[in-house]
Structure formats: structure tokens, C-alpha cells
Amino acid sequence: MSDTNDVQLYDLRRKTYPNQRGDSFRSLQVFLCPICAALTNKVVMGGYPGYGVRAVCPNSVEDWHHNLEDRVGLLHKFPHPKSYKEELQKEIDEMREAYKSLIKNDIVGNPDMNLMSAVTNTRSFHA
Ligand SMILES: [Zn+2]
């Protein structure tokens, strides 16, 4: 990771960014992780599912992130009774609170915070 602010940020709306599988660069756009709410503007070309622009949560390799993702996945996986969902949501909120100090953002340069979308990968992959 670099702390320099003169790194080049690529605008994903223009097709001028590196596009070979495995290329990695910083984007003007910002990606938010729906699991842990970390921010990143690191983009990798390739990966799963299918080839393309991928933004991976910087915490995706952490065990606690997997735990949290499993709980969030449960919320969406089956139709649950409302009371169960509320319990689960409460548990997730408590986990997020507990993991707060562990959440790492990965922002380099001065990206545009108005251009925010969800990370494409909440688990790590090899490009
Ligand atoms: Zn995350």
C-alpha cells in the first residue's frame, strides 16, 4: 500500500484503464463492502466470477470477515420468520461493532466519494 497522493486514479467510465488479466490499479470510483463497510479504490482485472473489473474488500482474507459474511448470507438465503431475522440482524450489528477496530480501508489518492458502488468481491480471489 502507498500513502502517496500523486498516484494515478483511473476513471472506470473511460476505457483507458489497464485491462490485462491480473492488472491492478487505483480508480476514481470508490467501492464499499456490504459486509463490513470498508472502502477501497483498488481495482484488479480478472478474477471470479468471470473476467472484468473487480474490487475486493481489503478485509476479505480475515477470518472475522468470513464469520460476518456467513451471518449476512444467512439473512438472505432462506425465508426466515421475522423474529429470527431480527435476532440475526442484531447479532450482525454486534459483530460489526466488535470488529470495528479491525476494519481496514484501502484508499489511495483522492478518489471521488460521490462515485460509490459496492465491492464486487467480498472474498479474495486469484486473478
Ligand atoms: Zn468487507
Whether the CB-CB separation of 3 and 88 falls below 8 Å is answered with no
Q: Where are the domains of the chain?
A: 9-118
pLDDT one-digit tens code per residue, 54-85: 999 999 999 999 999 999 999 888 888 999 99
Amino acid at 102: L
Tell me which residue of 4, 127, 122, 3 sits closest to 73, measured CA to CA.
122
Whole-structure pTM over 0.75, yes or no?
A: yes
pLDDT at residue 116 greater than cutoff 70? yes
Is the model more confident about 110 or about 80? 110
- How far apart are the C-alpha atoms of 26 and 43, rounded to whole Å? 6
Whether the CB-CB separation of 23 and 8 falls below 8 Å is answered with no
Query: How remote is the CA of residue 58 from the centroid of ligand 1, in Å?
Result: 7
Amino acid at 91: E
pLDDT at residue 1 greater than cutoff 70? no
Query: How remote is the CA of residue 30 from the centroid of ligand 1, in Å?
Result: 13
